[in-house]
Amino acid sequence: MTDSADRRVTANLALSLDGRYNGPGGAGDFGAFAPYVTTEVARNHLTRIWEGATTALLGRVNAEGFLGYWPSVAADENADPRDRGYARWLVGAEKVVFSTTLAEAPWERTRVVNAPAADVVAGLKATGEGDILVNSSASVIKELLPADLLDRLYLMIFPEIVGGGQRLFEDGLPSSRWKLAHQETGDLGEIALVYDRVR
């Protein structure tokens, strides 16, 4: 097991070729991404992101969507084993949900926090073991990037230019160097990338 002093902070997100994590239609516009999320490469990548993680960090919107969907997959014996593995992990993992509106968590093994992500991550790194995964929540990733608190990025790049929507990497971030730890390309042109922060 990983020593608590060595807890990595990892994050996963899917991006278009023009660096967007949603389309021009707003936060729920994932139409351009849909053909790619169930490919072999995407499903293998999904397994990769959670295997070493014991804690999931989520923004409220993602938590509501994920925890409304994945528990049923965990119970579905006909689901792809990789989807089911991720779903079971998510249900059983320690979850921290960032919210300014939720008073208490409606999900098991979950606590709600209304605090800066950097402070919460510092507290988590000081206790426990295993990776801390920012689970596809761009709002949390965007708080941790300028604080240089991310150790690993799991990115899926989809071969679409969506022409609008929100960007992950905004201007003004401090410079940083990353080492490619893994890459895999799918038949549709999707690419799974794993980058480790070089410190």
Query: What residues make up the domain containing 129?
Result: 4-198
> Helices in 38-159 by DSSP H: which ranges?
40-50, 60-74, 81-92, 117-125, 138-144
- Determine the average pLDDT of the residues in 166-185: 96
Query: What total number of domains does the chain contain?
Result: 1
- The tens digit of pLDDT for each residue in 61-98 reads 889 988 889 999 999 999 999 999 999 999 999 999 99
Q: Which residue has the tokens 């708080």?
A: 143
pLDDT at residue 28 greater than cutoff 90: no
Give me the half-sphere count of Cα atoms (radius 13 Å) on the Cβ side of residue 191.
12
We report the CATH number of the domain holding residue 168 as 3.40.430.10
Q: Which of 5-14, 15-24, 158-167, 172-181 has the lowest mean pLDDT?
A: 5-14
What tokens does 107 get? 């999900």
Mean pLDDT of 32-48: 94
Whether residue 1 is predicted with pLDDT greater than 70 in this model: the reply is no
Tokens of 183: 């890459």
* Percent of the chain residues past pLDDT 90, beyond the cut: 84
pLDDT tier, 196 (very low <50, low <70, confident <90, very high otherwise): very high
What's the rounded Cα separation, in Å, for the pair 13 and 137?
7
The reported pTM is 0.93
Computed over every residue of the chain, the mean pLDDT equals: 93
Residue-wise pLDDT tens digits, 99-147: 999 888 888 899 999 999 999 999 999 988 999 999 999 999 999 999 9
Q: How far apart are CA 131 and CA 109, in angstroms?
A: 17
